[in-house]
Amino acid sequence: MKVSCTVWSRGKDGDNIKFLPIAIKESGGVLQFESLLTGKPFTEVKQKYFGHKRKKYHPAELLSPKQLELIDWAEIKRNDFEEYKQSLEEIMTEWNAHVREQRILAFAKLLIGLESMKYQLVVENIQNQSEETQIPSLLNDVLTMYSCRRWEDWALEARIIAGEAYRTAKLENNQMANALIYVLFSFQHYKQYKHSIDSKNSLIKVG
């Protein structure tokens, strides 16, 4: 590749301008040329176009110490870093399961809040849940899902939990004053049921 670089044939005003062809190699030549032309270091010119090259991290490596603590991996990372590095896929699987579970609970709360006309109370509750569970996007996740035309499976499971809580609350209190408490009860029943199903499936696989 060649470009024309404007140079002066002599140093006086009115002198003819010549165009000097300068050969530029395809790999890095243009950047080197700009470096020579501007007097800037090559690395600075390269950074201008490509930015800083960043090491690619596994998503699990981006989890904070508090997030790792919630899924019982923080201590392992501190005491056995090699095991931690070899378990990144497992860590991410456990974190995703944690996020999914908390989305289900938060979405069930949202549905009950809308039904009981206590939207602001429920939003504040979900914000607190977001902080406790170290999932910053939790409120946005459930609000976005609610506005979707088609709900994902975790939202459908949350609807079952909310339905059970709603029926119980209506039987106990027509004003649904304790609806959120019943959501927590229903959620615990859901977790126990899921755990029993998972245990049975594990036994079937082993057998």
Instruction: Give me the phi and psi of 6, to 5 degrees please.
Output: -75, 125
Across the range 137-159, mean pLDDT stands at 96
175-201 pLDDT per residue, tens? 566 788 889 999 998 888 777 766 665
**Angstrom distances, CA of residue 92 to CA of 41, 58, 63:** 41, 9, 9
List, as own/partner pairs, every contact residues 33-37 make where C-beta atoms lie below 8 angstroms and the sequence separation is at least 24, other chains included: 33/3, 37/5
Q: Which range (20-34, 124-138, 186-200) has the least confidence?
A: 20-34
For the stretch 6-16, pLDDT in tens is 443 444 444 44
Is the pLDDT at 162 greater than 50? The verdict is yes
Domain range list for the chain: 2-50, 98-206
pLDDT of residue 10: 44
